[in-house]
Amino acid sequence: MARYTGPSCRLCRREGDKLFLKGDRCYSGKCAFTKRKNSFAPGQHGAARKKISEYGIQLREKQKVKRFYGVLESQFRKYFAMARKKRGVTGETLLQLLERRLDNVVYRLGYAPSRSAARQLLKHGHFTVNGKKVDIPSYLIKVGDCLDVREKSRSIQMIKDIEERTAVVPKWLEVNIEALTGKVVALPSREDIGAEFKDHLIVELYSK
């Protein structure tokens, strides 16, 4: 499967915002984006001041959300198509679908320091959903689903470090640190996402 393999900090610089792609490092003084006080877009012409068009503003917001969740363009379009078919506000529904991805849930529960690390754990088959092994990062969880760490995977240091990350577990999820189990108690709301996305710009972009 295709995926971005370049430097993560380059993506943050391109979007002009911290996307927290490198886990704990992004919260420390080692964050490359924070160190660059006058951070500008990467590339030869990144420092040049350019007037951004309305389309450019919409495109940048879409790219920011894509990179935040680590999905490709084709995947993102599928989520948008799903969101348009559902009732409610399309932009909020889109973000809710992205939050329901299994790799994001693993990250939100504190099992991994970043979404990319969560995807790696999933692909190696370290988790079960409702008792069955699931190794598909894009799997969409539902209310009532239980996510457990497999018995043979409980000695992995990254998973054992869950206590350091459970302080930020959102209210729509529950986690038992001792048993290494998690449960989806509700669907994520717009307030639970914890990132300032202008989702209406994405809807405007795809509605043209």
State the DSSP code for 144: T
Which residues lie below 8 Å from residue 204, measured CB to CB, with a gap of 6+?
Answer: 58
Task: Of 35-49, 78-92, 117-131, give the lowest mean pLDDT range.
Answer: 35-49
**In terms of C-beta distances under 8 Å and separation of at least 24 residues, what long-range contacts does 139-143 make, across chains too?**
139/101, 139/102, 140/97, 140/100, 140/101, 140/102, 141/100, 141/102, 141/105, 141/184, 142/100, 142/184, 143/184, 143/185, 143/186, 143/187
pLDDT computed for residue 185 by the predictor = 96
122-140, pLDDT tens digit by residue? Answer: 999 999 999 999 999 999 9
Q: Where are the domains of the chain?
A: 1-50, 101-187
84-115, pLDDT tens digit by residue? Answer: 999 889 999 999 999 999 999 999 998 988 89
> What's the pTM?
0.79
Task: Kindly report the CATH number that applies to the domain delimited by 101-187.
Answer: 3.10.290.10
CATH 1.10.3720.10 holds for 1-50: no
Strand partners for 133: 128
Q: Is the dihedral of CA 122, 189, 82, 19 positive or negative?
A: negative
More confident residue, 144 or 197: 144
**Which is nearest to 107 in space by CA: 203, 22, 9?**
22
